[in-house]
């Protein structure tokens, strides 16, 4: 079963649209934001504690919460831009699209 690149791109966009409507995608995006925020805040706080213990300047690390918000927003924006580019671009045309459901051409 061969399909044209245009048909594969249309099928890819249809599948991407369906995937964007699933709550799992948005749960992944929210967890990516949360994990990034918590890890950066903890690492910044730990760096400030270590700097305080060794009587070093803690100004190099900045405040934990604004730094964590900045990095979490940056990572989330990169993720959403990449998803948007893949959606608009339509995927790689050389890779055949495989739907998750079986049709009459699939073997049992």
The band of 106, judged by pLDDT with boundaries at 50, 70 and 90, is low
> CA–CA separation, 67 vs 18, rounded Å?
34
Whether residue 9 contacts residue 93, with contact meaning beta carbons closer than 8 Å, is answered with yes
**Which pLDDT score, from 0 to 100, does residue 48 have?**
82
- Per residue in 10-38, pLDDT tens? 777 787 777 777 888 889 889 999 999 99
3-class SS of residue 62: coil
Domain boundaries, the chain: 5-89
Q: What's this model's pTM, rounded to 2 decimal places?
A: 0.63
- Per residue in 60-78, pLDDT tens? 667 888 888 888 999 989 9
């Amino acid at each position: 079963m061969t399909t044209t690149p245009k048909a594969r791109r249309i099928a890819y966009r249809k599948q991407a649209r369906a995937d964007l409507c699933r709550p799992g995608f948005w749960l992944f995006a929210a967890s990516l934001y949360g994990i990034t925020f918590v890890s950066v805040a903890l690492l910044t706080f730990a760096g400030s504690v270590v700097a305080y213990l060794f009587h070093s300047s803690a100004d190099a690390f900045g405040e934990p919460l604004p730094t964590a918000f900045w990095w979490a927003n940056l990572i989330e924006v990169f993720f959403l831009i990449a998803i948007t580019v893949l959606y608009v671009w339509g995927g790689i045309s050389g890779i055949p699209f495989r739907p998750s459901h079986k049709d009459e051409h699939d073997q049992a």
